[in-house]
Chains A and B, each alone.
Chain A
Amino acid sequence: MAAGDLIDFDIIEGQKENIQSLPGGRSAKKLVEAFSSSPLHKLSTPTPTDTKNINDCIRAEYEEEIANISESDDPLDVFDRYVRWTFDAYPSAQATPQSQLHTLLERATKSFIGSAQYKNDPRYLKLWLLYIKFFSDSPRETYVFLSRHTIGETLALFYEEYAAWLESAGRWSQAEEVYKLGIEREARPVQRLVRKFGEFEQRRAQDPAAADAPSSPALPTVRPALMAKVDPYAALARAPAPDPQAPRPNMGLGGQSSKPGKAKLAVFSDAGSEASPMSKMGESSKGWDTIGSLADRKKENMVEAKPWVGETLTTQVKKSSGPKMAVFRDPSMSRIAESHIVIAPSKHQVIVNPQSGKRERVYVNLEAIYPTPEEPGTELSFEELWAANQGWLDVCWDDDNIVEEQEELTPRKPEIDLLGHRMAEKLIIHHDAVELDENGAIKDQARPVKSKKKKMLEVNETQIIKAKLDSPSGPKIKKKSNSYSSEPTMTMHTKAATNEIYDLFNAPLKPTKEENEESGDEDYLTDGDYTSGGESANTTRQISTSEAGDDDETSDVKSVSEWSDFTAQKHVPRIEGDGNDEQEDGEQGDSVLSDLIDTKDDDDEESEDSPPRTRFIPIPPEDYEAPTRPYRDPAEVANNRLPFMTPITERTESSLGLITAAKSITNKVLSKRDSRDDLTEEEEDEDDEDFGPLSSPLREVLNENRSPLKIAQPLLKKLKAATPPSQQKAKEIQKGPIIKELRCNPVDKAVREEILERMHAPLTSYPGFYDHRSERCDKGAEVRKFAKAMAKAGGKKDGDKTGTIHSLPVLEFPEIIGEYTIKRELGAGAFAPVYLIENSSPDDDDADENTPQVAMGKGAFATSSRHTLEALKMEQPPTAWEFHMMRLAATRLGPQHRATASISAAHELHLYQDEGFLILPLHPHGTLLDVVNFFSEANKAPMDESLAMFFSIELLRTVEALHAKQILHGDLKPDNCLLRLDDPTSALASQWRADGSGGWSARGVVLIDFGRGIDMRAFDPDVQFVADWKTDLHDCAEVREGRPWTWQLDYHGLAGTIHTLLFGKYIETARADQGGLGTSAGRRYKIRESLKRYWQTEIWAECFDVLLNPGSHVEAEEGRRMPVNRSLRRVRERMEGWLEVNCEKGVGVRGLMARVEGMAKARRH
């Protein structure tokens, strides 16, 4: 215990390194106080908390004083004491965060910048100097700042400090300048300043390098001097440079003794002017109002705190995590990934050469080679496949096993086919494999093990596939399954392929008595075993309820999608809702659905309720006898509606041995016997069963496994549903328009979707409709590219000898026996380019397809026989609408109707997720526009009136027939009217007959492009349409004027077409009434063009009047509403009457027709 007065230096000694030196020295007493926590224990080191508490108290006192600073006589004193206390209390320089000296000094200095009182107060200046010493990032700037604000202007201390700093920075001349300035200003105490200057001069004399020092003014003139053109540097330059070699003579004490030619004079020379920096505080301090706190000055180094809301983190951040990942990855993987190309078996198994269009089928089973194409480095060589197949890969050749292996190997020779043997070995081998995995020895084998868990789930399928192979599925089925496998979805495919490989990993497994063996082996569900594991799982299934089955499926979401689609369709029946039984069914389906469907499937369900059913369009097998009832026949409907779930057909000899399966088979047989119509359903079942096997065994297995359980009942019910009472109900409900709105956009996607979904003969019931909406085709781009290339190649000759024969892309559709080779582009629409294709099996379909069509009343199309050359329309985005409209038109008209010949048939539609391939008959003769152009080129005049009338009659008759069947074409124009020359060789009578005799019925037009077609039956009779497309002159007045319309669209199109025929130019209309608003009936239009006087002006005028102003002709119509078929017929009959009489005038219609035919023929070559 030292006496109060004595200072215990031991304490200080111990803390020396923690004490920051101060210019003015420190009070030892204070230091001791600071370092001893209490007077009682001065020797012991104070605990930080003690010190902190005390200091916090004192600080609070100071802060209070500062808060009341405005009351204070000497506010600076508060700061002065506060700062001094801080220095004492926190001797350590490192303690600045605690001492808050930095902010304190900033506060202190800032408070009095503008204060005249303290401007020359040494205490204030000292605060500044402390600030400069400890914290200023650029002391010089701060000094200049002080000088600007004339702080310490009269204090020698300022000049001394500044000069000292400059000197320490080696800026001798600037330091000298500062000294002199101070002396000039007679800064107090002058004596000291002068003395210091003298010392400085001495030091400077000893330093030869001093002359090199920068000599810019220590206190530069303010930048505004830029305008004053006072260049301190210039002044310097003028001054003779001081000799660096010669030490500067001691200036002596005479501060005033100016040295002529000295640079510093520059400062003084302008004494009276702005150049004097020190005196020019006033204006010149602009921009120097504040030097800013340290935080201010360094703010660009800080990230400003911002609220989190709405902050988007850039993805760049992720990049940095890249290398982190690499730590955990096999470094080689990155390289593998780089060079890896995904070979999707589905895409690459059959390649269409983009240049030649030739199809190439890769012989290798890519699914086997690339089991997981997305995963780099997982492809397998043939040897691996076979080795795996033979079980060699499972063998561990670690030396300790060798003896054992040797023994086992003997019976393993391929020649030995004893099944039991094989299995036994297999099991042993698998034990080995497990050991090996534990050692982590083989990468290859590790893989299967990794997915062990998954396997547990998938367990069933392998074995089912086997069963499949064993089952006597016909070749047809095989083909179909192939087709499905060729276009699976990504996930599906991967899984499928993996499974296939896993499958391969097992020696062919005769599904006989394995259950016994495997029962003891359940722990080892590795590789080969899992087949048998599947068997056991299956056993569980047998006793499980259907709910259990559901659970299983829910657990494997991936596999579900197809399946759930499949369930989704169970809703469909409800719409057509027949029978309570059915309803119940639907509900059951519902519950299943909710179990199964993830969000994606929900979407599915909403947007395309009926489409799912389209996935199961079967191809009739050879022995398939088509149901002769029309599709709308309720019995059929009921069938179509049934869930296609029972996949297992005759499979009695398969190893499944499932009771339930057997049950389903019984059901099957039963249903077959009971109702002939069930064939359809059966077909679908078969299809269902097939769609999976190669693409995704898993999915297929799920279906299969469930089906017996889930389906047995529905099946029975279905039979009931097919009975007459429910038929009637079904029929009733089907009546009435689908779209109830009175005003809508008929080409709206949603509207169309709804119609497609809800129409009573569902899309899928159309023969020739092949739904792959769940799949991607990925051929479209290729075809388009090819077409482009073809267009580019144009006339260029392929001179390449090595001879990539310009081969053509080939489209092959799973359900079609033949294939379509794309020849060239026929027409490039914006959304639907049309290609010429070659059908490899032109007439095959006749027997297969046509007959049932006729029988089913779906219309044996006069034009539906298949030809070698056909047209392919690729709609983008793919839609079934056009196909639907064409089929609808053909169906409603019936095969016998004359107009049917004038409507293009739709052979097939292959609808994929990304493409729609609409196969149409080829009408190679060109369009009416071609005819018009041909005549206007040849004759320099439009075609003869009689020919125009002939075509007009054809058009009027066709449109009239369509309208009578409530079908709007929607896009009538010359380019959509193809020339129909069914049999150009047949003799043509010179006398034209309205009934088409004399060969005239074989000539005419064919309407194509039903893409904008509207089925008026789907709408309310009073519906009014609004169009959303961009209108142009070719649209009817209502559309152009934004008024609602219905049939007017076709009438105007017809008028336009006839106008083009007649005048050789596009139609232009003009108001024929007095203008004004008028009602839709009140407005009248006429064509601008005037009819030639030698024409049948009356007929034509009436024709255009009816077509352009149909609203005013409704009086005569049935129900006094459009369509104005009676008026149309009247016009047509007038035309026919005239043409029959005048057909032989002049060249005659036959002669004209001959020219047209000649043109068409020339066109083809």
Chain B
Amino acid sequence: MAPAATQFELAQPPNDAISALAFAPDSPSRLLVASWDKNIYLYDTLQSSDENSHGSLLQTYEHRAPVMDVCFGRDSSEAFSAGMDWQVRHIDLETGDQSTLSKHAAPVRRVVYSREHSLLISASWDSTLHVHDPTNPSLTPLTIPLPGKPHAMAASPSKVIVAMTSRLVHIYDLSALSAALSSQTNEAPQPWQQRESSLKFLTRAVAAMPSDAGYATSSIEGRVAVEWFDASAESQARKYAFKCHRTAQPAADGSSADVVFPVNALAFHPVHGSTFASGGGDATVALWDAEAKRRMKVYQKFADSVAALAFSADGRYLAVAVCPGFETGMEDYSGEGRTKIFVRELGENEALPKGKGK
């Protein structure tokens, strides 16, 4: 393990697998964790309750069903959750008040909040997106039908990327969504772009560049693709995919084959926009430079599969959710006791792309 100074494990982790992590937009230490144990956990990562542990659990917010995703709202006092119970909830983190913002017809997989457009977008397995304006609850939420089940979603300052089954990727323009929402038209806005994933296998995670230039997707088959919004041929030519999160299997079963793990989580560094982290089923987290197409770092292996990643708003911390993966479809799965959250404090230049700075 890395020295405790740079990486520490949060005390009082959730009881079951973690589905999402989110750092507060205005605080580097507020961390929301959505878990399959039906709770959302709010941590202060820096405040320690005692000497031996790091971070403290501030509050939990119980849901009816496992929480699939969580994100902060406009500030660190509100959050939105996506639940297995089909609901998108607004949570007042101060008071703990929960209100149902929207209801899908199937579990809600992802929820993202765009501060730029103050839009909340939820993606559900009922193959719809719901678009809300939390600041203006009088508006009827916009429902956008999707051609497939969404499995990952991410928002850049101006776009929201929805990755679905059948390798479909839709990119919506947030301002168009905003306009459609405020005009209260019944017509669902068309995606700004429809794409196919560059990856052959099911998309696992999407992360958008804070620079609004593009996004990265990962698949269940150890690959990450970096693509650009710009539809021009030359921009598209820049897109690439690479393999990662593979380990050579020890010769236990007599083979030396590479085992290809799913890439469960992607997160772009909020400051160094070209840097992103990927976390895979092989229990490692790697930092990549999207521009230079280089791997910057691979962190030491964790005990279990990396389920979620989040950079703090200032880019100083990287939270890593570790829990046994259930990608093999195992039946008797329990994340209990093995679910952990690590927070890594990044060195000054740790996430800085090479050749820049110094």
Contacts and interface: CB of A to CB of B under 8 A. Distances in A.
Nearest to B334: A414
Contacts of A378: 165
A989 interface: no
Given A339-B168, A364-B220, A369-B202, A819 B254 contact: yes
Interface in B109-131: 109, 125-127
A841 B254 contact: yes
B331 A508 contact: yes
Interface string A404-416: 0110010000110
A360 interface: yes
A333 B166 CA distance: 10
Nearest to B109: A383
Given A360-B260, A381-B151, A383-B68, A812 B331 contact: no
A385 B329 CA distance: 6
B327 A382 contact: yes
Contact of A364 (B85, B125, B262): B262
Interface stretch (A304-312, A387-395, A655-663, A1147-1155): A387-395
B16 A414 contact: yes
Given A397-B87, A443-B106, A339 B255 contact: no
Contacts of B281: 363-364
B85 to A, nearest CB: 5
Contacts of B304: none
Interface in B247-269: 249, 254-262
Given A343-B201, A409-B64, A359 B255 contact: yes
Contacts of B232: none
Given A383-B68, A387-B66, A362 B167 contact: no
Interface in A798-829: 810, 812, 817-819
Nearest to A436: B105
A377 interface: yes
B255 A360 contact: no
B87 A343 contact: no
A639 B105 CA distance: 59
A361 interface: yes
A68 B167 CA distance: 81
Contacts of A369: 202, 220, 327, 329
A360 B258 contact: yes
A443 B127 contact: yes
Interface residues of B, number: 64
Interface residues of A, number: 64
Interface stretch (B142-150, B208-216, B346-354): B142-150
A54 interface: no
Contacts of A343: 200-202
Nearest to A396: B86
Contact of A818 (B148, B254, B282): B254
B221 A364 contact: yes
B84 A392 contact: yes
Given A350-B257, A363-B281, A392-B66, A341 B329 contact: no
A972 B256 CA distance: 40
A1079 interface: no
B125 A360 contact: no
B61 interface: no
A358 interface: yes
B191 to A, nearest CB: 10
Contacts of A139: none
A393 B107 contact: yes
A415 B249 CA distance: 33
Given A363-B281, A381-B202, A504 B255 contact: no
A341 B200 contact: yes
A111 B313 CA distance: 99
B194 to A, nearest CB: 7
Given A358-B258, A360-B260, A332 B147 contact: yes
Contact of B148 (A336, A360, A387): A336
Contacts of A817: 254
A735 interface: no
Given A377-B148, A383-B19, A414-B16, A363 B166 contact: no
Contact of A340 (B166, B259, B333): B166
B322 to A, nearest CB: 15
A332 B87 CA distance: 24
Contacts of B282: 363
B326 interface: yes
B255 A819 contact: yes
A504 B328 CA distance: 11
A926 to B, nearest CB: 30
A364 B259 CA distance: 9
A384 interface: yes
- Of B125, B200, B332, chain A has the most CB atoms within 10 Å of the CB of B125
Contact of A360 (B19, B86, B109, B246): B246
Interface in A684-700: none
Contacts of A812: 255
Interface in B151-183: 151, 164-168
A368 interface: yes
Contacts of B222: 360, 362-363
B329 A384 contact: no
B235 to A, nearest CB: 20
Nearest to A350: B257
A335 interface: yes
A385 B107 CA distance: 13
A361 B333 contact: no
Contacts of A389: 326, 329, 331, 333
Contacts of B145: 332
Nearest to B258: A360
A134 interface: no
Nearest to B200: A341
Contacts of B262: 363-364, 382
A697 B165 CA distance: 26
A390 B68 CA distance: 14
A395 B249 contact: no
Nearest to B127: A443
A742 interface: no
A178 to B, nearest CB: 65
B45 to A, nearest CB: 25
B328 A386 contact: no
A379 interface: yes
A102 to B, nearest CB: 54
A444 interface: yes
Contacts of A359: 255-258
Nearest to B147: A332
A522 B259 CA distance: 44
Contacts of B36: 386
Contact of A442 (B106, B146, B196, B333): B106
B325 interface: yes
Interface of A: 332-333, 335-341, 343, 348, 350-351, 358-365, 367-370, 376-379, 381-387, 389-390, 392-393, 395, 397, 399, 402, 405-406, 409, 414-415, 441-444, 500, 504, 507-508, 810, 812, 817-819, 840-841
28 contacts: A335-B194, A339-B168, A343-B201, A360-B257, A361-B258, A361-B259, A362-B221, A363-B261, A364-B261, A364-B281, A370-B202, A376-B166, A381-B109, A381-B151, A382-B326, A384-B149, A385-B329, A386-B17, A390-B66, A395-B85, A405-B64, A409-B65, A442-B126, A444-B149, A500-B329, A504-B329, A812-B255, A840-B256
The 9 residue pairs across chains A and B that have the minimum distance between CB atoms: A332-B147, A368-B329, A359-B257, A336-B166, A339-B196, A397-B86, A360-B258, A340-B166, A386-B326
Interface of B: 16-17, 19, 36, 64-66, 68, 84-87, 103, 105-107, 109, 125-127, 145-149, 151, 164-168, 194, 196-197, 200-202, 204, 220-222, 246, 249, 254-262, 281-282, 325-329, 331-334, 336
Given A360-B257, A361-B249, A363-B262, 17 more contacts: A332-B127, A348-B201, A359-B257, A361-B255, A363-B328, A364-B262, A365-B327, A365-B329, A369-B327, A382-B204, A389-B329, A397-B87, A402-B64, A500-B329, A504-B329, A818-B254, A840-B255
